[in-house]
Amino acid sequence: MSNTARKQRLLRDRRRSGAAMVEYIIIVVIVAIAAIAIFGVFGDTIRAKLGGAVNELGGDSGAVDAALSTTSEQWLKDLDEDGAGGGSGGGTP
């Protein structure tokens, strides 16, 4: 095999591996967007279930109550208004 043929083969292999990397990145982005969408839709339910688990494990029930007192929709509105994510209460949702 000549040097030219080897170089062409190496370039072709690099292009294939680059294409595979782009495909993996696209898959990761799609999974991340899906996870964000799921948490957006089911955020209140997830927060309530995690709060129940924290209570059962002996966690701070005051923090759970504070987290459950605001809906995800209201928390996002407060985030848009002041950038802190919890209105005047600070950064906790």
What is the domain partition of the chain in residue ranges?
3-89
Give me the half-sphere count of Cα atoms (radius 13 Å) on the Cβ side of residue 1.
7
pLDDT at position 89, please? 46
Question: For position 7, what pLDDT does the model report?
Answer: 72
Task: Name the pLDDT band for 93 (thresholds 50, 70, 90).
Answer: very low
**Distance between CA atoms of 57 and 50, rounded to whole angstroms?**
10
Q: In the prediction, which pLDDT does 25 show?
A: 94
Neighbouring C-beta atoms of residue 44, cutoff 10 Å: 14
pTM above the 0.85 mark? no
* pLDDT per position as a tens digit, 19-52: 788 899 999 999 999 988 888 888 888 888 877 7
pLDDT score of 67 more than 90: no
The residue type found at 25 is I
